[in-house]
Amino acid sequence: MNSLADFKLKLPFVIVVAHQKGGSGKTTTCINLSVELSKLLNTTVIDADSLKQFTTFNSKRKEPLNQKHISTSEALEQHLRADDGLTIIDLGGYDSDFSRAALILSDMIIIPMSDSDNDIDGLGEFMSILEKTQSVRADIKPFVLVNRVHHADKSTHNDLSAFAKDKPFEVFDTVIRNNKLHTKMIFTGENVVEKKPTSKPAKEILSLVKEILTKA
């Protein structure tokens, strides 16, 4: 990977991983990104999902990532005012005043979604929240991440990119495809790159990291 100086991302920076529906891969995305971005940047992770799966994952790590337990918008504001690094927030699939505060305070929103009807429905609902959030801060950058699709799927990314043309979000070029390496990370404490650095899922995650650093 290029040196950090080659990329656009400037600290402090806040990434929120969010989607209205459960099962879209928010925590999996958060785990994969947190591990990789922690290698490059001073990173803090906030597990705001009530399932606390990121917290379980982190507890299994030999060297846990820097994690903070924050559940109110006041505490989040306080943390971000003091922090000069990267903060990654794993938001649960709910709509609360805390989740909206997190969206308002974010610099980049990553919305993982598969091609399931459930996720597509959820994106519609989430878009209305995004529009409200952008009415507070127009400079927030939401990106949809095509996630958990079949290894041969081509249409989901093309369809979403066409759909996004007049919408308040962009679509990442990187596509994360279904692979068993993404499962059981929570119980092993390793992300896909640590599990198998030369695998396809690892390459996809590294490509996503590069894209985030470039598009931030």
Partner 1 sequence: MRNKFEALNSDRAKEVMADSHLKENKPTTTKEKTKKNQMVYGIPVDLAAAVDATGESLSSFAKRAMLRLAKEEDIF
Bridge partners of 16?
89, 109
Give the separation between CA 184 and CA 199, rounded to whole angstroms.
16
Please report whether residue 187 would count as binding partner 1 according to CB under 8 A: no
Please report whether residue 10 would count as binding partner 1 according to CB under 8 A: no
Give the separation between CA 213 and CA 187, rounded to whole angstroms.
28
Closest CA to 23 of 128, 118, 100, 160: 118
Smallest distance, Å, CB 168 to partner 1? 14
Please report whether residue 200 would count as binding partner 1 according to CB under 8 A: no
Please report whether residue 124 would count as binding partner 1 according to CB under 8 A: no
Helical packing angle, 117-136 and 97-104, nearest 10°: 60
Which range touches partner 1 (CB under 8 A), out of 1-9, 76-84, 169-177, 204-212? 76-84
Please report whether residue 170 would count as binding partner 1 according to CB under 8 A: no
Please report whether residue 203 would count as binding partner 1 according to CB under 8 A: no
Q: In one letter, which amino acid is 61?
A: R
Answer for which of 17, 30, 80, 89 binds partner 1 (CB under 8 A) is 80
Please report whether residue 69 would count as binding partner 1 according to CB under 8 A: no
CB 207 within 8 A of CB 35: no
Please report whether residue 105 would count as binding partner 1 according to CB under 8 A: yes
